[in-house]
Structure 1
Amino acid sequence: MVNATHEAGNGPLPRQIPYIIANEGAERFSFYGMRNILTPFLISTLLLFVPLEDRAGEAKHVFHTFVIGAYFTPLLGGWLADRFFGKYKTIFWLSLFYVGGHACLAVFEDNLHGFYFGLFLIALGAGGIKPLVSAFVGDQFDQTNKNRAKLVYDAFYWSINFGSFFASLLMPLLLKNYGPSVAFGVPGILMAFAVLIFWLGKRKYVHVPVAPPNPDSLTRVARTALLAQQPGEGRPGLAVAVIGAVGAVMSLAMSFSCGFVIAACTALVLLLAFGGIGTAMQLERARGHHPDEAVDGVRAVLRLLVVFALVTPFWSLFDQKASTWIVQANAMTSPVLNLFGWEFQVLPAQMQAVNPALVMLLIPFNNFAIFPLLRALGIEPTALRRMTAGIAFSAAAWLVIGWIQVSMDGGTPMSILWQLLPYILLTMGEVLVSATGLEFAYSQAPRSMKGAIMSFWTLAVTVGNLWVLIVNSSVKNEAVLGHIDGTGLSVIAFQMFFFAGFALLTAVAFGLYALRYKMVDNYRSDPEPGCHGTIPRKA
């Protein structure tokens, strides 16, 4: 019976998982605790030197630039872990930078450069460890218990939102009543606690060794494919890759006009997009120079990158709940609520607590009610189907938030509680896209690129926030403003409907691509040569 359970992939949960989940809950409290008060703090305190009419826009720019940094540095973390230090050491040491960043925010509350340096350290630490922790969870599983991984990834995501929920409730109150030093200091204490919890589990983890230099790595296979010549044929793939490289250089050269962050991220997108397309066009030329397994692995990665690219519009919508939605909430009425005799008034930033609270409810609701019902109806809720639906839900949320804005622009007072409906829709989208994507990315990634692939998954968040910066910059153009005026909508309402349409079109494209995607199984074998640590077994 035990062997049959193991062979079916339903073996026992690894005993070391609670250390990682507890670490994640505390770390997410620290991250969302500071992130969720960042926009209101910038508007009310740090950016007072900016003219009032431009302050909200500048705060949104700073916020999304920070988010871009936090989701761009995973590339660095994945590279360091995969090639030099392994996941555990990289997570531990980058976490110490993370703690230092929180300390800077608490100390330099009235110093622009010191505060921004703290944001840089947090972006480096939080971004660097982000893909590694989720990949580290996957490393604790093998073929004997791989089916338990989905439950653990859901628990992992639940712990993220458990920390985010209390951070979203408490940090705005601390900021209002005790000031920024305390409000930014408490998340720093929680991050230090997270590092301690992670360290305590050191001897219990499975530590997958660093992969040795690989002559058949993705970059080497891609280079071979792009440079290889066939008799009587040109190299169209190389031409496409060169176009991307030229476009990247041009983007960097324009950094003086559009800003370095937009220019650098656009350059990276061009390199990845055109380089990937070019490699795919000539990939078969790498066969014979590299093993078939390596060539097929690169093809799997390229297919994954298409999925990740199609997810980026979702992140454009999701991350604006901490910027655009707060700006909208600032202009809404906030009724006094009575809860068990305790009267309180909801602060705009506290509305974000609705999101993690709903996540903690929707994950078990989907697993125990919605998904079994769909299976009973003959519809299997596969990862890609769930993600398609999630993008569509996010679009619906922005249609509602846009309607709220139009009503406000028309002079109708709107209660902050009207934001509950779009929060419900957006959170359902998050559960279906983000929680699913963590497991999907790990399961589809070739063994030697687990950390790097998880980095590309988080890079999708960077690109999503890049779209926000580009759209926000475009509305400063007179021609664009003239077009918006012709619609009869305010700028912010127009942007809301634009993002809703962006996500709806992407949902259609994602669903069509999902029909052609072939799933693979890249969980490690049991036993895994060279691994050390504890994998619990029943007697």
Structure 2
Amino acid sequence: MAQDVQLDSETTKPKYPRSIPFIIGNEAAERFSFYGMRSILATFLVAQFFNPTNNPALQAVAEAKSNESTHFFVTLAYTLPFLGAIVADWFTGKYKIILWISIVYCFGHLFLAIFDSNLDGFIFGLVLVAIGAGGIKSCVSANVGDQFDQTNQSLISKVYGWFYFSINAGSMISTILIPWVYANYGAKWAFGIPGILMALATIIFFSGRKMYVRVPPSGINKNNFVFISLYALFNIGKKKKGQALLDVAKEKFNNEKVEGTKAVYRVMAVFAFVPIFWAMWDQNLSEWVLQAEKLNRHIDLGFLDFTVLAGQVQTVNPVFLLLFIPVFNYGVYPLFSKMGINPTPLRRIGAGLALTCLSFVIIAFLQAKVDAGLHPSIWWQIFAYVILSAGEVLVSITGLEYAYTQAPKSMKSTMSAIWLLTVAAGNYFDVFVNGSIAEGGFFSKFTGADYYWLFTGICGAFLLVYMFVAPRLKERNYIDEPEVTENEVVAENFNL
């Protein structure tokens, strides 16, 4: 009898948690709202607020102001996940943060639609959207993993596959639809529809409230990266000869956590070179869109003849990204391995920075033709997107892998948060440069093609330093060389 029960339990197929459809539906609608709004943001700010008369003499400053606002919005959106994770893990739990911040998110979209002719009200709406998008970002994907237990862990990779599919589906559909709505029905509908989708996302999430597995908050945990770092800094005088600075913290904190903090700093040495990638990559959703407005966007494929809107061109990035992931994993990397060139994560990141530089070389030459009064074909910008997307595979996906493999279990989520901060840092540099241009500061001499050559040069300088530093960086792969700990850390919440 007991044996029959055991056999039945062994042959029972794992079942998907009932909460998963609500989480995936919520994510698809939320990403639609975010990327739909952002697809027209840069062009709208110029046309509505910064150069409504389309005065050529004001265009350069107007575009700089638009880019400054757009990148500040992204900076805020990618800084707040760090704070959202702390609040969720220490005080509220993920469910409450996602629900209440989603409501703030909805009000942000409402402000964008209502104040489409009032700059102060519109900017306030942008801040609310950034708080919404950033506040829930670190919690939503972690909430997926919380829904699984030992009986259905084998399904978690499939669910994350659908989760990321919903992200790409939501963003791709919105970047095609919302620019068309903006062109044909105006800004109120173009910003209103993403708001409706965000309200739908909130309703979907709330509808699954009785089905979620809710991990309770753990309270303030001082055995973490921030507290350990601060303790070591303020007790530097206690450091003994031959002892690492962070070892001072071992007198008060868990040894395993201190060693994990050391690993975080080793990874941060690599991540220091990543913000320039994001400073350039995120321009494809702002500066490149403004450039696309000045290009010949007519596409004739013989069987298909149409004119693409400037805000729709960015849709090719996720398309190329999805195509390149299997190409690199099953083609490029194995090919280099056969040639005797090991495609290590550090080499991949370096190659990605080089390709990002190359994409900007194309954009700079393209902009030079625009500056000369010409209207080159949009195919040139699409070609730049091809190279940029390849660079994204090499830097972004590899960076996430590097953060995971080079950090112990207790610090993996911390590294994910720091990875998001590299996006914020890169965008803040864009804010600084464009703010300087708008105010007639030092960077005001870098307009037109010179703007893109500036970033190409900065990226090239970073790449040269990286080529010198990377071979000398100390690494430890915690997958190949697992740490020896007294207790396995099961829940990968943010240990900040």
TM-score between the two structures when normalised by the length of structure 1: 0.75
Which residue of structure 1 aligns with residue 325 of structure 2?
Answer: 363
- Which of 349, 353, 356 in structure 1 is aligned with 2:311? 349
CA contact (8 A) 1:158 1:360 kept: no
Structure 1 window deviating more from structure 2 (64-73 vs 326-335): it is: 326-335
Aligned residues: 469
How far apart in 2 are the matches of 1:286 and 1:208? 29
Which residue of structure 2 aligns with residue 252 of structure 1?
Answer: none
1:409 aligns with 2:379: no
Which residue of structure 1 aligns with residue 9 of structure 2?
Answer: none
- Which of 495, 513, 531 in structure 1 is aligned with 2:470? 513
- Which of 244, 247, 272 in structure 2 is aligned with 1:309? 272
The correspondence of residues 375-414 of structure 1 with structure 2, limited to 5 A, is 381=343, 383-414=345-376
Give the CA deviation at 1:405: 1.8
Deviation string 1:206-255 (CA, Å, 9 cap, x unpaired) is 54443333343333322331232557979xxxxxxxxxxxxxxxxxxxxx
Give the CA deviation at 1:448: 5.8
Which residue of structure 1 aligns with residue 193 of structure 2?
Answer: 186
The correspondence of residues 49-60 of structure 1 with structure 2, limited to 5 A, is 52-53=58-59, 54-60=61-67
Counterpart code for 1:416: I
- Check 1:89–1:381 CA distance in 2 against 1; reply closer, same or farther (3 A cut): farther
Q: Identity percentage over the alignment?
A: 41
Give 5+ residue unaligned stretches, structure 2.
1-12
Give the CA deviation at 1:55: 1.8
1:165 aligns with 2:121: no
Give the CA deviation at 1:498: 2.3
CA contact (8 A) 1:144 1:526 kept: no
Structure 1 window deviating more from structure 2 (137-146 vs 79-88): it is: 137-146
Give the CA deviation at 1:314: 0.7
- Which of 450, 455, 458 in structure 2 is aligned with 1:502? 458
Structure 1 window deviating more from structure 2 (179-188 vs 428-437): it is: 428-437
Which residue of structure 2 aligns with residue 130 of structure 1?
Answer: 137
Give the CA deviation at 1:150: 7.1
Deviation string 1:170-210 (CA, Å, 9 cap, x unpaired) is 11110010111111111112222333444455566554443
Which residue of structure 2 aligns with residue 115 of structure 1?
Answer: 122
Give the CA deviation at 1:480: 4.7
SS at 1:518 equivalent: coil
Structure 1 window deviating more from structure 2 (296-305 vs 404-413): it is: 404-413
Which residue of structure 2 aligns with residue 265 of structure 1?
Answer: none
How far apart in 2 are the matches of 1:479 and 1:183? 34
CA contact (8 A) 2:260 2:410 kept: no
CA contact (8 A) 1:132 1:451 kept: no
Give 5+ residue unaligned stretches, structure 1.
1-10, 235-279, 485-489, 532-539
How far apart in 2 are the matches of 1:454 and 1:384? 18
Which residue of structure 1 aligns with residue 44 of structure 2?
Answer: 41
SS at 1:491 equivalent: coil
How far apart in 2 are the matches of 1:315 and 1:153? 24
How far apart in 2 are the matches of 1:100 and 1:144? 39
- Check 1:81–1:41 CA distance in 2 against 1; reply closer, same or farther (3 A cut): same
Deviation string 1:287-316 (CA, Å, 9 cap, x unpaired) is 223221121122122223333332111110
Deviation string 1:50-97 (CA, Å, 9 cap, x unpaired) is 973332221112111211121122222122112112223322221121
Which residue of structure 2 aligns with residue 27 of structure 1?
Answer: 30
- Check 1:404–1:65 CA distance in 2 against 1; reply closer, same or farther (3 A cut): same
Which residue of structure 2 aligns with residue 71 of structure 1?
Answer: 78
Counterpart code for 2:291: Q
Which residue of structure 2 aligns with residue 263 of structure 1?
Answer: none
Structure 1 window deviating more from structure 2 (371-380 vs 144-153): it is: 144-153
- Check 1:453–1:508 CA distance in 2 against 1; reply closer, same or farther (3 A cut): same
How far apart in 2 are the matches of 1:388 and 1:48? 39
- Check 1:446–1:86 CA distance in 2 against 1; reply closer, same or farther (3 A cut): farther
- Check 1:230–1:452 CA distance in 2 against 1; reply closer, same or farther (3 A cut): closer
- Check 1:134–1:441 CA distance in 2 against 1; reply closer, same or farther (3 A cut): farther
Structure 1 window deviating more from structure 2 (99-108 vs 132-141): it is: 132-141
CA contact (8 A) 2:321 2:390 kept: yes
CA contact (8 A) 2:266 2:474 kept: no
TM-score between the two structures when normalised by the length of structure 2: 0.81
Counterpart code for 1:78: A
SS at 2:93 equivalent: helix
Deviation string 1:424-445 (CA, Å, 9 cap, x unpaired) is 1111222333344445545655
Which residue of structure 2 aligns with residue 469 of structure 1?
Answer: 431
Which residue of structure 2 aligns with residue 266 of structure 1?
Answer: none
- Which of 321, 332, 341 in structure 1 is aligned with 2:295? 332
How far apart in 1 are the matches of 2:398 and 2:20? 19
How far apart in 2 are the matches of 1:365 and 1:17? 30
How far apart in 1 are the matches of 2:412 and 2:114? 37
SS at 1:516 equivalent: coil
How far apart in 2 are the matches of 1:17 and 1:457? 26
How far apart in 2 are the matches of 1:526 and 1:232? 29
Counterpart code for 2:27: E
SS at 1:344 equivalent: strand
How far apart in 2 are the matches of 1:506 and 1:148? 41
Which residue of structure 2 aligns with residue 213 of structure 1?
Answer: 220
- Check 1:322–1:481 CA distance in 2 against 1; reply closer, same or farther (3 A cut): closer
- Check 1:110–1:48 CA distance in 2 against 1; reply closer, same or farther (3 A cut): same
Query: What's the C-alpha RMSD, in Å, of the aligned pairs?
Result: 3.8
CA contact (8 A) 2:65 2:435 kept: no
The correspondence of residues 234-273 of structure 1 with structure 2, limited to 5 A, is none
- Check 1:397–1:66 CA distance in 2 against 1; reply closer, same or farther (3 A cut): same
Structure 1 window deviating more from structure 2 (115-124 vs 102-111): it is: 102-111
Give the CA deviation at 1:370: 3.5
How far apart in 1 are the matches of 2:459 and 2:426? 11
Counterpart code for 2:385: Y
- Check 1:386–1:154 CA distance in 2 against 1; reply closer, same or farther (3 A cut): farther
- Check 1:37–1:530 CA distance in 2 against 1; reply closer, same or farther (3 A cut): closer
Counterpart code for 2:448: I
- Which of 488, 492, 495 in structure 1 is aligned with 2:448? 492
SS at 2:274 equivalent: helix
